[in-house]
Amino acid sequence: MKKSPRKLKDPKKGSSSNVKAAEKANAEVDSNKPKLVRLNKYIADAGICSRREADKLIDNGEIYINGEIASRQGIKVNPSDKITYKGKLLKGEKLRYVLLNKPKGFISTSDDPHDRKTVMQLIEKACPERIYSVGRLDRNTTGLILFTNDGELTTKLTHPSNGVKKLYHVVLDQPLSKNNLLRIMEGVELEDGFIKPDNINWVTDEVNKKHIGIELHSGKNRIVRRLFEHVGHNVIKLDRVMFAGLTKKDLPRGRWRFLEEKEINILKMM
């Protein structure tokens, strides 16, 4: 009886366990390599423009990599590479835009030496990137705060010359008379300058006239509270219900959401 011929082992093939070990080793080597990113994506993530527009900047010789003009489209760059546009170093991380409906009792700082609750605790799981608040609300004021790592947009939204409007719902300790409403509407001189709101009125369905809606673009500290204090009223509750066209719709107190692309585009066009 003939024995079946024994199959010779292919020297190019190892055992399944050896193959898996080799694949794991290669994966570990690859994971240690810096992840390359297409140059146009890096530029877009830095908030300069879209990827398509980034390609045009590259074609026009306006993008530099480590001091040299980017030669062509399709180049991939390391996170450690220095990418510049008009002499400005670009930060190639994904831009984030987070809108928070702030509850009472939280301060609008990154950290606090007195260990009080901060707004950063409310959005800490939103994204891995470090984001910052665009303007502030005091501890007892509720409502909308925008957070982002887009420095260019932050400058645009906080600079007084751009007149970014904010709408507040105010509850006073006593009804606001027509005379005092007109005084505020015409503008008042405070210790740090003249302030005139863009609009002010009683909330239409409020009989006792303690509830006021006021719209203004000033970013001065405690400006709403100081306006009413100037005419003899204390603010009991203060809620920012609109910021730069963004509203609290479908955003419960203490919750956050990412801005939609169309919202981001509108902010950038302001």
Q: Which positions are catalytic?
A: 138
Q: What are residue 148's DSSP bridge partners?
A: 97, 132
Q: Which residues contact 233 (CB under 8 A, 6 or more apart)?
A: 172, 173, 174, 176, 180
Nearest alpha carbon to residue 146 among 23, 36, 240, 250: 240
- How far is Cα 120 from Cα 14, in angstroms, rounded to an integer? 53
- Which whole-number Å values give the CA distances from 160 to 117, 135, 154, 270, in the listed order? 29, 12, 12, 13
- How far is Cα 31 from Cα 268, in angstroms, rounded to an integer? 36
Q: Which residues contact 1 (CB under 8 A, 6 or more apart)?
A: none
- How far is Cα 234 from Cα 246, in angstroms, rounded to an integer? 27
In terms of DSSP H, where are the helices of the chain?
16-32, 39-45, 51-59, 151-158, 178-186, 223-230, 261-269
Burial class (CB in 10 A: 0-12, 13-18, 19+), 22: exposed
- Which whole-number Å values give the CA distances from 244 to 146, 165, 268, in the listed order? 10, 5, 11
Q: What share of the chain is helix, strand, coil (3-state, %, to 5)?
A: 25, 25, 45
